[in-house]
Amino acid sequence: DVKVTQSSRYLVKRTGEKVFLECVQDMDHENMFWYRQDPGLGLRLIYFSYDVKMKEKGDIPEGYSVSREKKERFSLILESASTNQTSMYLCASGGDRYIPNTEAFFGQGTRLTVV
């Protein structure tokens, strides 16, 4: 079974803290994604990576950065957490840049609360 594992299920951080959300996949996928999910807004893409050290901004990259040093690991970084970043964060992996006809596999999500 494909596994996408997010490091935390629930996280509470203080305003101004640097926050790391980790995601690991075991299927050798080239594509990995970070989404943010808020009520009424659906899933919004924050960043996308199609290879090690390669990344593309999604629709809402402001306030976030990412790191992909190894193929299996994709980290989302909140440089200085703010209360408006309180949300559910979902990591996914699937396919590669040139073969988009594949499904994405999701982690269980991290519910982040910034106080």
Partner 1 sequence: SQQGEEDPQALSIQEGENATMNCSYKTSINNLQWYRQNSGRGLVHLILIRSNEREKHSGRLRVTLDTSKKSSSLLITASRAADTASYFCATPSSNTGKLIFGQGTTLQVKP
| Binding region for partner 1 (CB under 8 A) | 4, 31, 33, 35, 40-43, 45, 48, 50, 56, 58-59, 88, 90, 92, 94-109, 111
In the complex with partner 1, which residue's Cβ is closer, 69 or 98?
98
Sequence letter at residue 35: Y
Tokens read off for 62: 């402001």
C-alpha closest to that of 110 among 24, 17, 48, 2: 24
Shortest distance (Å) from residue 65 CB to partner 1 = 18
Spatial separation of the C-alpha atoms in residues 19 and 78, rounded to whole Å: 5
Residue number with CB closer to partner 1 (2 or 17): 2
Supply the minimum distance, in Å, between the C-beta of residue 101 and partner 1.
5
Nearer to partner 1, 3 or 18 (CB): 3
Smallest distance from the beta carbon of 20 to partner 1, in angstroms? 19
72, 59 Cβ separation under 8 angstroms: no
In the complex, minimum distance from the CB of residue 92 to partner 1, in angstroms, rounded to a whole number:
7
In the chain, what are the helix, strand and coil shares in percent, each to the nearest 5? 5, 55, 40
Nearer to partner 1 among residue 60 and residue 77 (C-beta)? 60
Strand partners, 77: 20, 65
